[in-house]
Each structure stands twice: as structure tokens, then as C-alpha cells.
Structure 1
Amino acid sequence: MRLSVHRRSSILISISCLFLAGDGVGAHEAKTGWRYPYACCSNKDCREVPARMVNESAEGYVIRTTGEIISYDDKRIRHSPDGVFHWCSISGKADTKTICLFVPPKAF
């Protein structure tokens, strides 16, 4: 039985969609089990960091290792689901630019 070109294309697209929708495509998990969003991570960029690595200033969050200031309204700032800081930087290196910064809620 021969499949038409249209039918073969449909099958390939379906298989591709299943593959892309699979578990863990391009993302990895924090220690507590939540997944870093694909936009922040390519399996090596994100990790939990101690609170002392991120300072707050009038201008925004300051990454101590790079001196980078990320304003409080920057789209790279994300809510931390587990209450600790997570930093995603280019290639996961300590001296590169921030991709995302997961910030715990402020204490009252």
C-alpha cells in the first residue's frame, strides 16, 4: 500500500508533534522538581543560587558575580516556585549575562 505525499506529510507532522510535546524537551528541573521554562534554559543554563549572590538595590536586583543590575520590572524576573533564588545565565557560566532570575516572594 502506497501512501500519498499528503498522507506521509501528515504522519511526519504528527510524529514530530508527539516528539516535541514529550517530557523534558529542552528544559530541566530544579532540585525541588519544578521545570525551568524553555525560554530560560537549554538544559544547562539554570541553577539554584544562594540568596547572598543576589542583592537588592534601588535600581533592581544585582547579580554579585557580574555586577549586572536587573530592574524590578524586567521580563527576565520570574516568581520562584520553591522560595529560593534560581539564576539562568548564558551557558550556565558565572560570568555571563542573565537569561532569567527566579526570585522568592518578599517577606513581610
Structure 2
Amino acid sequence: MTFAPSPVAVIALAAISIGFVVRTDAHQAKTGWTYPPACCRDQDVGGDCEAIPAPSISRGPRGFSVFLHAGDHHLTTRSHRYFIPYGNEIPSGDGRYHICLHPTEDDVNCFFAPPDSS
């Protein structure tokens, strides 16, 4: 006699299996939303994405200027100025500005802005 699991059992097992998948390719912001895996590359504590102070951001005719002082992001060890053209920002999941720096503090991997900020 062969055993054939019922379709309901197969669906239930699949749902349980999906629940045990552990995300190792992204981390969460302190407010609880998860950065997209393509943005968050660093697996160390804190990752490479973090909220940044809103006063550090100014909007110009072509995009966002971001000026970070040492310590404004846990990876910045000195002052940096970044330019993010309009259309390259990603809507943030918590209404705050965030930046992902990778592979070094000199490189912006992703920039998140509140949806109504452009």
C-alpha cells in the first residue's frame, strides 16, 4: 500500500516550511521594517543600512544632497556628501530617511526617502 498525502496536508506542510525560512540577506530598521535584500549586503551587527537625520538632507532641482557627519550612520567615520538624483530614491517603509553604505562608507548602495519628499 502506498501513502499519498492529501492536498490539504501538502499545503499545510509548505506553509509551515515557509514560516521557518530565516532571512540572512537583509536586516530590519530600528522601526521594524525590513530593508530590501538588494540594499543590505552586510551581515555584521547593524548591517550597512541605517536611518539618518532629516536635517542632513536637502532637496535641490535635480535630487537629494545628503551630508553626513562622522557618526550620523554607524559606518561613517568622517564627513561625506552624497548626491542622489530624483528617481533613484526608494520610498522608506517608516517615513524616515535611510541610507545603505556598501562596500565602503564612500559608496551609497540605496537611499530611502519618505514617499512625499521628492
Q: TM-score normalised by the shorter chain: which range applies?
A: 0.5 to 0.7
What corresponds to 2:87 in structure 1? 73
- Quote the Cα distance in structure 2 between the aligned partners of 1:92 and 1:49: 17
What corresponds to 1:63 in structure 2? 66
Quickly say closer, same or farther: Cα 1:34–1:92, change in 2 above 3 A: farther
Judging by fraction of residues, say which structure has more helix: 1
Q: Which runs of 5+ in 1 are unaligned?
A: 1-17
What corresponds to 2:115 in structure 1? 105
SS state at 1:52 partner: helix
Percent identical among aligned pairs is 33
- Quote the Cα distance in structure 2 between the aligned partners of 1:81 and 1:31: 11
CA deviations 1:42-93 (Å, max 9, x no partner) are 232100111012211112011113322111022xx11111111111112473
TM-score normalized by structure 1?
0.68
Equivalent residues, number: 85
Quickly say closer, same or farther: Cα 1:78–1:58, change in 2 above 3 A: same
CA deviations 1:19-53 (Å, max 9, x no partner) are xx822221100011111111000232100111012
Moved over 6 A (4+): none
Which of 82, 85, 89 is residue 97 of structure 2 equivalent to? 85
Contact 1:59/1:69, CA 8 A, preserved across alignment:
no
TM-score normalized by structure 2?
0.63
Contact 1:45/1:90, CA 8 A, preserved across alignment:
yes
Q: Which runs of 5+ in 2 are unaligned?
A: 1-16, 69-79
Instruction: Give the letter aligned to residue 109 of structure 2.
Output: I
Contact 1:46/1:92, CA 8 A, preserved across alignment:
no
